[in-house]
């Protein structure tokens, strides 16, 4: 039986993950505290890994419940209260990024990349292990950090999660414990997985190697029509109205069915 093996939330968009044993799936589909905060520039655009590799050199230890954050860069660490210390926190980040930035918050929906598929991203442990094997310099932990999925499924074969979507316009519903979600599509990746999660250094030919191996290993149960290119990994989801609630590590994962 597939089971939920890991839950990762990213309280500040593009910064480090926090592993939790359980979490609430909000009405918006977002996991509680996931991407709740985001750093934006003077034009209101995200300061993230897509726009600057500098962000990979910033470490963050976050307590989303206690609303505290420790930021570390260039050997310098500072602790901030996310409410009381907002001005000094933004000043510290402004100095780090070399441009004026501010921290914004959305407690109900967070700041997902895909606003139409606003639920958690799903991958299997076996998939991460398979992909790590394509790159001699990567281990599973680094592969996990690069692809930044929320929910990790265990006790399944590589690419099991490809069962969680179908042809465009067809819903695939699945349950984690008592919470129901809809798989929408294989997630299109950006530049972030090509870089070291700690230094931002680019892995030569990462995308071409990945696409070639992804094509070769695409399982028969994957819906090939959803691959206009093969730089896709993990599955995007959206919520089902009235089917939210708490999910926990160890919960069974079951496919409910599909409908148009």
Taking a C-beta distance cutoff of 8 angstroms, is the pair 173, 256 a contact? Answer: yes
Overall average pLDDT of the 170-176 stretch: 94
Model confidence at 260: pLDDT above 70? no
Of all residues in the chain, the percent with pLDDT exceeding 70 is 99
**234 close to 123: Cβ distance less than 8 angstroms:** yes
pLDDT, tens digit (0-9, with 9 covering 90-100), for 51-75: 999 999 999 999 999 999 999 998 8
- How far apart CA 11 and CA 64 sit, in angstroms, is 6
**Using CB atoms within 10 A of its CB, is residue 260 exposed (0-12), middle (13-18) or buried (19+)?**
exposed
Q: Over range 204-210, report the average pLDDT.
A: 97
The upper half-sphere exposure of residue 199, i.e. CA atoms within 13 Å in the direction of its Cβ, equals: 4
Q: Under DSSP, is residue 60 helix (H, G, I), strand (E, B) or coil?
A: strand
% pLDDT > 90, the chain = 93
pLDDT per residue as tens digits for the range 69-116: 999 998 899 999 999 999 999 999 999 999 999 999 999 999 998 888
pLDDT (0 to 100) of residue 12 = 98
- The whole-number pLDDT of residue 114 equals 87
Domains of the chain listed by start with CATH number: 3-31+113-259 (2.40.33), 37-105 (no CATH)
Residue 11 near residue 33, CB atoms below 8 Å:
yes
């Amino acid at each position: 039986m597939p089971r939920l093996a890991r839950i990762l939330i990213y309280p500040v968009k593009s910064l480090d993950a926090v592993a939790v044993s359980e979490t609430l799936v909000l009405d918006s589909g977002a996991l509680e505290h996931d991407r709740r905060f985001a750093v934006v520039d003077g034009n209101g655009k995200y300061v993230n890994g897509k726009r600057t590799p500098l962000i990979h050199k910033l470490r963050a230890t976050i307590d989303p419940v206690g609303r505290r954050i420790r930021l570390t860069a260039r050997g310098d660490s500072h602790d901030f209260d996310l409410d009381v210390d907002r001005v000094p926190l933004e000043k510290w980040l402004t100095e780090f990024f070399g441009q004026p930035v501010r921290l914004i918050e959305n407690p109900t929906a967070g700041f997902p990349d895909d606003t139409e598929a606003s639920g958690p991203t799903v991958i299997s442990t076996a998939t991460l292990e398979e992909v790590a094997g394509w790159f001699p310099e990567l281990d599973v932990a680094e592969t996990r950090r690069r692809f930044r999925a929320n929910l990790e499924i265990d006790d399944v074969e590589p690419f099991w999660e490809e069962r969680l979507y179908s042809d465009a316009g067809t819903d695939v519903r699945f349950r984690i414990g008592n919470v129901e979600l809809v798989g929408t599509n294989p997630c299109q990746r950006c530049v972030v997985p090509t870089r070291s999660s700690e230094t931002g250094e680019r892995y030569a030919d990462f995308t071409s190697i990945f696409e070639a191996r992804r094509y070769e290993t695409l399982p028969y149960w994957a819906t090939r029509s959803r691959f206009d290119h093969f730089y896709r990994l993990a599955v995007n989801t959206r919520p089902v109205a009235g089917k939210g609630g708490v999910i926990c590590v160890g919960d069974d994962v079951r496919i409910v069915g599909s409908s148009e």
